[in-house]
């Protein structure tokens, strides 16, 4: 059985960047290419009901093992990576027993406690980074690798009793289109979890959500000598619109409700 780190590195090397300017769905053919490989792999490890649909979604099932009447649980992850930086020719590297000091990558890129204080939490552990020239793609190839590896483990481990589990892999999450054609009824889960970021043991049950909007403001250009009550500054109009938005509803100020998953702590805080 392939370990999760090795599977993640293999996935990270696949070019699956989405494209916000594309009119197709998925937005890039390379996502479909990876989805086909993923569907084949799910069949190989023993999943049933494996399907790659016309919109690039992959769904599969880990059949129930001993608890056939249990509610159906679902696990989801997206395969695309952000178009903000290149995700082609990714070269992941494992840093064994991280010592807590800054890590120097290519192109002058440094990963260290000054920029990312949370990295010291992993001192003494092995961490995986890109080489500094591309994205790593852990968002969300890590989630994909975790789900597939867990599915393989359950399919091989007959001693662990569980109900039916549905797996779902989506394209174009990074450009806000990941759920456009997702068939919830066909997925058929009674409840589901998305594996996409966060520290080990963390469970988020509420998060910031928003739709995108493109606003075009048409100003009016007038010679300054005759501008009074005539000129319309588009930048100032934009500023006025922004000032009218709820100040605590933005991602930078909205408080996420999150709990580190511990039964005692959960009972105490909820």
User: Which domain covers residue 259, as residue numbers?
Assistant: 198-207+214-270
User: In this structure, are 80 and 150 located in the same domain?
Assistant: yes
pLDDT in tens, 206-258: 766 666 788 999 999 999 999 999 999 999 999 999 999 887 777 777 655 44
In a domain, 219, yes or no: yes
Residues 166 and 224 occupy one common structural domain = no
Q: Assess if residue 108 is contained within a domain.
A: no
Considering the entire predicted model, what is its pTM?
0.84
What are the φ and ψ backbone dihedral angles of 106, each rounded to 5 degrees? -70, 165
pLDDT (average), residues 180-202: 92
**Domain membership flag for residue 125:** no
Q: Which of these, 16, 56, 26, 4, lies nearest to 137 by C-alpha position?
A: 16
Strands (E) located in the chain: 48-52, 58-62, 73-78, 93-95, 103-104, 110-111, 127-129, 165-170, 191-194, 202-206, 257-260
Q: Which of 166, 197, 228 is the last residue of a domain?
A: 197
Residue where one domain finishes, among candidates 138, 165, 197? 197
User: How far apart are the C-alpha atoms of 37 and 63, rounded to whole Å?
Assistant: 21
80 and 203 fall within a common domain? no
CATH number at residue 54: 3.40.630.10
Same domain, 179 and 203: no
Question: Do 142 and 225 lie in a common domain?
Answer: no
49 lies in the same domain as 177: yes
**Quick one: 218 and 265 in the same domain?**
yes
The closest of 232, 210, 209 to 219, measured between CA atoms, is 232
Q: Is residue 73 part of a domain?
A: yes
Residues serving a catalytic function are: 80, 173
**Angle, to 10 degrees, between the axis of helix 29-45 and the axis of helix 138-156?**
20
269, HSE (Cβ side, Cα atoms, 13 Å): 10
Contact 95, 103 (CB under 8 A): yes
104 within some domain? no
Q: What is the pLDDT of residues 41-59, one digit of tens each?
A: 999 999 999 999 999 999 9
Q: If you count DSSP H runs as helices and E runs as strands, how many of each does the chain have, helices first?
A: 6, 11
Q: Which long-range contacts (CB under 8 A, 24 or more apart) does 110-115 make?
A: none
Residue 209, pLDDT score: 67
Q: How does pLDDT run across 67-125, given as a tens digit for each residue?
A: 999 999 999 999 999 999 999 999 999 999 999 999 999 988 899 998 889 999 999 99
Residue 98 lies in a domain: no
Tell me the C-alpha distance between 38 and 168, whole Å: 11
- Asked if 136 and 54 sit in the same domain, the reply is yes
Is the residue at 102 inside a domain? no
Query: Both 182 and 238 in a single domain?
Result: no
Looking at the fold, whether 191 and 225 belong to one and the same domain comes out as: no
Pair 63, 180: CB distance under 8 Å = no
* pLDDT greater than 90 at residue 181: yes
The reply to whether 113 falls in a domain is no
Query: Vertex 200, ends 252 and 79: CA angle to 5°?
Result: 70
- Domain limit, last residue, from 144, 171, 197: 197
Same domain, yes or no, for 185 and 203?
no
Sequence-distant (6+) residues with CB within 8 A of 58 are 35, 38, 39, 42, 50, 51, 52, 167, 168, 169
Quote the number of domains for the chain.
2
Same domain, 137 and 187: yes
């Amino acid at each position: 059985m392939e370990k999760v780190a090795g599977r993640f590195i293999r996935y990270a090397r696949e070019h699956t960047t989405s494209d916000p300017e594309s009119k197709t769905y998925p937005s890039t053919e390379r996502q479909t290419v990876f989805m086909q490989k993923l569907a084949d792999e799910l069949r190989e490890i023993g999943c049933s009901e494996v399907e790659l649909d016309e919109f690039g979604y992959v769904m599969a099932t880990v059949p129930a093992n001993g608890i056939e009447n249990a509610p159906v649980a679902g696990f989801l992850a997206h395969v695309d990576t952000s178009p903000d930086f290149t995700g082609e020719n990714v070269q992941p590297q494992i840093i064994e027993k991280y010592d807590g000091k800054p890590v120097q990558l290519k192109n002058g890129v440094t990963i260290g406690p000054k920029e990312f204080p949370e990295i010291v939490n992993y001192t003494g552990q092995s961490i995986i980074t890109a080489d500094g020239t591309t994205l790593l793609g852990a968002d969300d190839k890590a989630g994909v690798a975790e789900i597939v590896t867990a599915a393989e483990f359950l399919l091989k481990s007959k001693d662990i009793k569980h109900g039916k589990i549905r797996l779902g892999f989506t394209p174009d999450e990074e450009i806000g289109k990941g759920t456009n054609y997702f068939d919830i009824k066909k997925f058929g889960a009674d409840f589901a979890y998305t594996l996409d970021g966060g520290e080990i043991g963390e469970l988020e049950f509420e998060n910031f959500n928003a739709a995108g909007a493109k606003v075009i403001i048409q100003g009016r250009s007038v010679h300054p000598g005759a501008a009074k009550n005539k000129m319309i500054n588009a930048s100032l109009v934009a500023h006025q619109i922004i000032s009218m938005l709820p100040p605590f509803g933005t991602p930078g100020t909205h408080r996420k409700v999150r709990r580190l998953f511990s039964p005692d702590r959960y009972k105490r805080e909820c």
